[in-house]
Amino acid sequence: MFAHGFGVSQSIWRFITPAFEEDYKIILFDYVGCGDSDASAYIKERYATLDGYVLDVLEICEALKLTNVIYVGHSISSMIGLLAAIKQPERFSKMVFIAPSPCYVNNEDGYVGGFKKKEMENFFESMERDYINWANEAAPTIMNNPDKPEFTEELIKSLVTTDRQLMRQFALATFFSDHRKDLLKFKKPALIMQCAFDIMAPLQVGDYLHAHLEKSDLKLLKAKGHFPQLTAPAETIREIKSYLG
């Protein structure tokens, strides 16, 4: 099961899934409000926190009667998958977390999430003030692959063509969430794939996750930025396959 992160859709996996189709049943989906999903199914109260997205994952598992799931989550979908596996551990066998973060905001207890609280507030103010300008400014920094401008353009297009209010709600549920306490409840084997120069998930976050997830492996990728499945698919595939054996 491949789960996309904030601001994109299942198409983000198009360079990855062909490498696994011979050996696995592939499950792809769009969260409600993203990609080709039915936006009319969006319920603001349900998706006010990540719990609504967790329910999406579990309802797909139920509808398709899935067990022994290898869950591959990108960005915030790593935490969505972690929470789903805590709720229904019998569904999942292994987890792969690509560029994950349990909390994006630095904390007074010394935790480094990558952003000061004021920076995150400015992030949302910019989104509210001029959404299109925000997308055009944020995407290059998040992608961080100036030599591959086509992927930055793809991210911008995905952001600006998605319902802005739904994106804002998803962003609030994502970037002000703190799931550090949930890490100790998670007992499944997990691979943490950490990217170089990733503004959304700096190296300290990968180290923190590895230290707090009981059965985790940490792999530092050569890939830069937040989207290695786009910018470095060969490396991404190689590390996932190596982990799965």
Per the CB < 8 A criterion, the answer to whether 187 and 215 are in contact is yes
Per the CB < 8 A criterion, the answer to whether 218 and 210 are in contact is yes
Other Cβ atoms less than 10 A from the Cβ of 131: the count is 16
Distances (CA, A) of 91 to 206, 215, 218: 25, 17, 23
Strand partners, 2: 28, 72
Q: What is the DSSP letter of 176?
A: T
Q: Give me the active site residues, please.
A: 75, 198, 226
Residue 130 phi/psi, 5-degree rounding, is -155, 90
